[in-house]
């Protein structure tokens, strides 16, 4: 029977980044007392790309791709801890001596094979989960599993992998074992590569450890790699945006490589049936009304849940949604956005600190607001130019003038006045974008409540866009309630309202115009009273479908030149705003179409 003090065992779960938290109070001798032990997996990432290390460990970003998913498959067996864990070096030596006393040959040593072994050491400042440890007596060999084939390079492995297994060997030494080499097992070619722990490799490993810890404490993350072949294969390329950031800073000598922007299989689930209930059954969400099943959908296919009117969700379904990072949005029947329920906030507190610091800087707030309002006016002009039946050229010239003045505004108050003037001019000509034979008219913008069908659609579309931006900003790591242009007010997602300004014409208004002109909606889809207008359920469903189709449409990014969906554009623009307020780029690149 093993004594728990003599067994080094591991928990069964691991974090996406391959790291796990050290025991409370664990500290290193190489960093300030507030810095936790450095996961050896993160040492691998730093050797591969310092920025990737910072994104994963400091900012706690993660995204899967085909390579990471295949890696999880390869690790499935070794991620299951051995029943008895790894016996300590002293216990293993004692067991070897006991074997000799029992009459076994002199060279008989106690052998053990332990999977998923957790080791940490304060003096080294490292912590690791070792896939497999093979030991004979007090001689231990760490074995690290890799998904691909053995690379055709000197030594049979790249530096990040050699450094990682060397660090594991150093941890085994710190726990009393002798360890002079490690093994990399490449599942793709089923080959083992021996990695001797030479003095040079040990020195390099410790140097990279020190550099990584210093990078973690720096005010800014490391710069992205420039034109590197590593980037397209990285699962975090869509978060890092290396080519985009380098292009904005004039560092790149090659063209911007398009983001691999596949259509996301996970999409929003809108539930609007009166009295509908969302419940959980196994790996599915089931929507019922009065006991009758209306729909069922796999949880993995849902990006967020939006509940309209009296539709509600059971506690188990809510817990499952939040546990899977699926926010739940709440809307009135009329389309007013109440708010959302979500799980844990994004862990990138550094971004939120920079956000709140920037919000106290009037000059920076004005610069951000200038660009957002300028983009909104320019995109409003694009909508009128593209869709109006007949438009006086002077209207377009006036909007261009408003856009120029927005970039030159000397205060937020002045900017508000310019935006208001441009909005009045835009909506005075909005009806010219509607077909003459449609049964709807539009005289002016009104809301709370909207008094005609077109205004009801505009209000609903803006509410949907607000919810989309709120969820996107939360995913990126922002606080959606602290804005730079819209002033904070209790319960108002000011930053979401800021960022949606340049997309109001391109997404929200475009959906309304298309739904009316293409006959998606007619007069029978509305309830109109003397004081208000609202969509009926059937019309609301068709409008929601039109809104989601618009978000899924591909558009050419005006700055980077590649095509991606509007849904992905929102994510890219939010991350670029983060780069700006973190001081990584000089300006926020506004989104203006031609």
**Residue 280, beta-bridge partner list:** 285
d(C-alpha 283, C-alpha 487), whole Å: 42
* Average pLDDT of span 372-384: 95
* Average pLDDT of span 111-119: 83
Most confident of 69-83, 86-100, 165-179: 165-179
Tracing tokens 């006959």 back to the chain, one arrives at: 519
pLDDT band at 1 (very low <50, low <70, confident <90, very high): very low
pLDDT band at 5 (very low <50, low <70, confident <90, very high): very low
d(C-alpha 485, C-alpha 493), whole Å: 12
* Average pLDDT of span 139-164: 90
pLDDT attached to residue 488: 81
**Residue 146 main-chain phi, psi, to 5 deg:** -125, 145
Q: Which of 59, 576, 584, 593 is nearest to 368 (CA)?
A: 576
pLDDT attached to residue 188: 82
d(C-alpha 590, C-alpha 576), whole Å: 9
β pairing state of 277-281 and 284-289: antiparallel
Q: How many residues does the chain have?
A: 594
Q: Which of 547, 396, 537 is nearest to 458 (CA)?
A: 547
Tokens matching residue 487: 């002033």
In this structure, the answer to whether residues 552 and 432 fall within a common structural domain is: yes
For residue 553, count other CB atoms closer than 10 A to its CB: 12
* Average pLDDT of span 99-111: 51
Span of 15-24, 389-398, 472-481, 541-550 with lowest mean pLDDT: 15-24
- Look up the CATH number of the domain holding residue 414: 1.20.120.920
* Average pLDDT of span 441-449: 81
Is cis: bond before 449, omega within 30 of 0? yes
Q: Is residue 574 part of a domain?
A: yes
Over 70: is that where the pLDDT of 459 sits?
Answer: yes
In this structure, the answer to whether residues 243 and 283 fall within a common structural domain is: no
**Residue 329 main-chain phi, psi, to 5 deg:** -95, 150
Q: Is residue 199 part of a domain?
A: yes
Q: Is residue 231 part of a domain?
A: yes
Over 80: is that where the pLDDT of 427 sits?
Answer: yes
CB 92 within 8 A of CB 138: yes
Per-residue model confidence as pLDDT tens digits over 338-376: 777 877 767 778 899 999 999 999 999 999 999 999 999
- Its domain, for residue 237, covers 223-256
Tokens matching residue 523: 């007069």
**Residue 518, beta-bridge partner list:** none
Share of the chain above pLDDT 70, in %: 84
Tokens matching residue 396: 């377009």
Beta strands in 246-362 (DSSP E): 267-271, 277-281, 284-289, 292-298, 302-308, 312-313, 328-331, 337-341
Over 90: is that where the pLDDT of 403 sits?
Answer: yes
- Per the structure, how many domains does the chain have? 4
Q: What angle do CA 571, 379, 270 make, to 5 degrees?
A: 45
Write down the H helix ranges in 409-452.
412-428
* Average pLDDT of span 428-447: 84
In this structure, the answer to whether residues 245 and 139 fall within a common structural domain is: no
CB 117 within 8 A of CB 129: yes
pLDDT attached to residue 232: 86
Over 60: is that where the pLDDT of 573 sits?
Answer: yes
pLDDT attached to residue 260: 65
Tracing tokens 């509607």 back to the chain, one arrives at: 434
In this structure, the answer to whether residues 368 and 408 fall within a common structural domain is: yes
Buried b or exposed e, range 36-52, using 16+ CB within 10 angstroms: bbbbbbbbbbbbbbbbb
- Look up the CATH number of the domain holding residue 53: 3.90.320
Tokens matching residue 254: 């090659």
Per-residue model confidence as pLDDT tens digits over 222-274: 999 998 989 888 888 888 889 999 989 988 767 788 776 444 667 788 888 88
Residue 518: strand, helix, or coil = coil
Q: What pTM does this model have?
A: 0.79
d(C-alpha 430, C-alpha 427), whole Å: 5
d(C-alpha 438, C-alpha 334), whole Å: 22
In this structure, the answer to whether residues 415 and 331 fall within a common structural domain is: no
d(C-alpha 246, C-alpha 520), whole Å: 43
Handedness of CA 195, 127, 77, 321 (dihedral sign): negative
Q: Quick one: 106 exposed, middle or buried, by C-beta within 10 A (0-12, 13-18, 19+)? A: exposed
pLDDT attached to residue 3: 37
Q: Which of 84, 95, 94 is nearest to 2 (CA)?
A: 84
- Which residue has better confidence, 390 or 577? 577
d(C-alpha 470, C-alpha 327), whole Å: 10
Over 70: is that where the pLDDT of 398 sits?
Answer: yes
**Residue 69 main-chain phi, psi, to 5 deg:** -65, -40
Annotated binding residue 295: no
DSSP string, 97-160: HHHHHTT--TT---EEEEEEEEEEETTTTEEEEEEEEEEETTEEEEEEEESSPPPSSGGGS-HH
Tracing tokens 């590197």 back to the chain, one arrives at: 228
Eight-state DSSP code of residue 227: S
pLDDT attached to residue 68: 59
**Residue 281, beta-bridge partner list:** 284
The distance in angstroms from the start CA to the end CA of the chain is 74
Residue 120: strand, helix, or coil = strand
- Look up the CATH number of the domain holding residue 298: 3.100.10.20
Q: Is residue 587 part of a domain?
A: no
Q: Is residue 586 part of a domain?
A: no
In this structure, the answer to whether residues 17 and 137 fall within a common structural domain is: yes
d(C-alpha 270, C-alpha 551), whole Å: 15
pLDDT attached to residue 12: 30
Annotated binding residue 20: no
In this structure, the answer to whether residues 306 and 426 fall within a common structural domain is: no
Most confident of 30-34, 292-296, 454-458: 454-458
Q: Is residue 563 part of a domain?
A: yes
Eight-state DSSP code of residue 492: -
CB 185 within 8 A of CB 146: yes
Residue 393 makes CB contacts below 8 A (sequence gap 6+) with: none
Per-residue model confidence as pLDDT tens digits over 36-91: 899 999 999 999 999 999 988 888 887 665 555 655 655 555 556 655 656 665 65
Tokens matching residue 230: 């590593």
In this structure, the answer to whether residues 22 and 98 fall within a common structural domain is: yes
In this structure, the answer to whether residues 353 and 317 fall within a common structural domain is: no
pLDDT attached to residue 77: 57
In this structure, the answer to whether residues 318 and 443 fall within a common structural domain is: no
* Average pLDDT of span 506-526: 91
Q: Is residue 250 part of a domain?
A: yes
Where does a domain end: 296, 325, 341?
341
In this structure, the answer to whether residues 247 and 272 fall within a common structural domain is: no
Q: Is residue 593 part of a domain?
A: no
pLDDT band at 2 (very low <50, low <70, confident <90, very high): very low
Q: Quick one: 439 exposed, middle or buried, by C-beta within 10 A (0-12, 13-18, 19+)? A: exposed
Annotated binding residue 501: yes
Tokens matching residue 557: 């990014």
In this structure, the answer to whether residues 327 and 445 fall within a common structural domain is: no
CB 382 within 8 A of CB 375: no
């Amino acid at each position: 029977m093993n004594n728990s003090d003599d067994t080094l065992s591991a928990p069964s779960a691991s974090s996406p980044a391959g790291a796990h938290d050290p025991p409370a109070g664990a500290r290193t001798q190489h960093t300030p007392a507030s810095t936790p032990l450095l996961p050896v997996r993160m040492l691998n990432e730093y050797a591969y790309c310092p920025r990737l290390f910072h994104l994963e460990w400091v900012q706690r970003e993660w995204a899967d791709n085909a390579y990471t998913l295949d890696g999880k498959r390869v690790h499935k067996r070794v991620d299951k801890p051995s029943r008895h864990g790894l016996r300590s070096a002293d216990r293993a030596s004692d067991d070897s001596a006991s074997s000799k006393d029992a009459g076994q040959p002199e060279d008989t040593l106690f052998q053990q094979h332990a999977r998923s072994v957790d080791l940490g050491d304060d003096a080294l400042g490292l912590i690791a989960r070792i896939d497999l440890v093979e030991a004979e007596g007090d001689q231990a060999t760490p074995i690290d599993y890799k998904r691909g084939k053995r690379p055709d390079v000197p030594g049979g492995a790249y530096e990040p992998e050699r450094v990682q297994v060397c660090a594991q060997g150093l941890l085994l030494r710190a726990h009393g074992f002798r360890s002079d080499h490690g093994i990399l097992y490449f599942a793709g070619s089923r080959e083992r590569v021996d990695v001797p722990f030479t003095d040079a490799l040990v020195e390099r490993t410790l140097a990279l450890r020190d550099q990584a810890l210093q990078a973690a404490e720096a005010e800014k993350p490391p710069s992205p790699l420039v034109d590197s072949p590593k980037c397209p294969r990285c699962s975090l390329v869509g978060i890092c945006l290396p080519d985009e950031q380098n292009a904005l800073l004039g560092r790149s000598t090659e063209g911007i490589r398009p983001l691999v922007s596949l259509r996301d299989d996970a999409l929003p689930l809108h539930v609007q049936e009166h009295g509908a209930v969302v419940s959980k059954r196994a790996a599915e969400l089931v929507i019922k009304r009065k006991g009758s099943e209306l729909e069922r959908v796999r949880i993995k296919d849902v990006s967020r849940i939006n509940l309209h009117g009296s539709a509600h969700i059971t506690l188990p379904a809510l817990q499952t949604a939040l546990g899977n990072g699926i926010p739940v949005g709440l809307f009135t029947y009329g389309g007013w956005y109440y708010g959302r329920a979500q799980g844990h906030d994004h862990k990138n507190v550094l971004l939120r600190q920079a956000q709140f610091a920037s919000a106290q800087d009037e000059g920076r707030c004005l610069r951000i607001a200038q660009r957002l309002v300028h983009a909104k006016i320019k995109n409003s002009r694009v909508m009128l130019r593209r869709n109006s039946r007949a438009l006086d050229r002077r209207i377009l010239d006036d909007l261009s003038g408003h856009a120029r003045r927005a970039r030159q505004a000397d205060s937020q108050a002045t900017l508000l006045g310019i935006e208001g003037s441009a909005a009045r001019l835009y909506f005075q000509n909005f009806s010219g974008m509607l077909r003459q034979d449609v049964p709807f008219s539009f005289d002016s913008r009104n809301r709370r409540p909207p008094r005609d069908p077109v205004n009801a659609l505009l209000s609903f579309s803006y509410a949907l866009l607000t919810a989309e931006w709120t969820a996107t900003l939360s995913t990126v790591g922002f606080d959606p309630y602290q804005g730079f242009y819209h002033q904070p007010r209790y319960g108002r997602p000011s930053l979401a309202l800021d960022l949606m300004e340049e997309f109001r014409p391109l997404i929200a208004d475009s959906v309304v115009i298309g739904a009316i002109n293409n006959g998606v909606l007619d007069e029978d889809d509305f309830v109109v009273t003397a004081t208000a207008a609202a969509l009926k359920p059937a019309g609301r469903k068709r409008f929601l479908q039109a809104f989601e189709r618009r978000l899924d449409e591909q558009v050419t990014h005006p700055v980077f030149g590649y095509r991606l969906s509007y849904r992905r554009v929102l994510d890219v623009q939010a991350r670029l705003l983060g780069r700006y307020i973190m001081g990584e780029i000089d300006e926020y690149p506004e989104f203006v179409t031609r």
